Amino acid sequence: EADIYQTPRYLVIGTGKKITLECSQTMGHDKMYWYQQDPGMELHLIHYSYGVNSTEKGDLSSESTVSRIRTEHFPLTLESARPSHTSQYLCASSEGGAGSYNEQFFGPGTRLTVL
Amino acid sequence: AQSVSQHNHHVILSEAASLELGCNYSYGGTVNLFWYVQYPGQHLQLLLKYFSGDPLVKGIKGFEAEFIKSKFSFNLRKPSVQWSDTAEYFCALGSGGYNKLIFGAGTRLAVHP
């Protein structure tokens, strides 16, 4: 079944650790996105990708980095986690070319807590 | 700057009551507007979208939304809510091309039987 997956679902980690949040989709979508959401707040776009080897920073500045080596995989990495990184991270994907708007399909999210 | 504002953070209704959730946006260009819903324990999913044409848009599960350009609004409505409509609802604006979205803060709806 075509879907979008995120692992881990929950992560509690100490300050200074390197972490990678995984996101994979089986829908063959070219576009993928990472959003950050604090409780009761808006989802903010932090990274997006139009396709393999293409990554861009989103509207909200983030210390995280992303890579897109394969169409289906869009991992997010924090080299040194800090308590300010505590948040929920949502991955999404969509079809479509430049200038078009299509439905974004979301994963279940990763809830990150940095102690 | 482009933005989306949702007026109600929490709404509590009884079953069969009518629902209207407010959404206002700030953007001077051609708008693409969306409502997403997140049911408890589930992924965020699309409820309905407006790109152009008829300003009254119908979505899944009996929801509809009306785009009023003069008011910069895209309010979500349902004539009669059910307990299963308990969820968080997000309004979003398509921004800057390439399918980027700007989201509102969301409205938590609780429907009591």
Using CB atoms, which residue from A42, A45, A107 is nearest to B100? A45
pLDDT band at B41 (very low <50, low <70, confident <90, very high): confident
Contact A106 B4 (CB under 8 A): no
Nearest residue on chain B to A38, judged by CA atoms?
A: B105
Q: What is the mean pLDDT of chain B?
A: 92
Instruction: Using CA coordinates, name the residue in chain A closest to B10.
Output: A40
Token match 């910069």: residue?
B72
Q: Mean pLDDT by 10-residue block, N- to C-terminus, for chain A (115 residues)? A: 90 96 95 91 91 90 92 96 95 76 89 96
Cα–Cα dist B48/B71, whole Å:
19
For A70-97, give one letter per residue: b (16+ CB within 10 A) or e.
Answer: ebbebbbebeebeeebebbbbbbbbebe
Of A42, A43, A102, the CB nearest to B99: A102
pLDDT of residue A91: 97
B102 lies within 8 A of chain A by CB = yes
Q: What is the pLDDT of residues B67-91, one digit of tens each?
A: 999 999 999 999 999 999 999 999 9
pLDDT higher than threshold 80 for residue B55: yes
Look up residue B25 and give its DSSP letter.
E
Percent helix / strand / coil, chain A, rounded to 5: 5, 50, 50
Identify from A43, A47, A49, A93 which residue to disrupt to test chain B contact, counting B C-beta atoms within 10 A and taking the largest count: A43
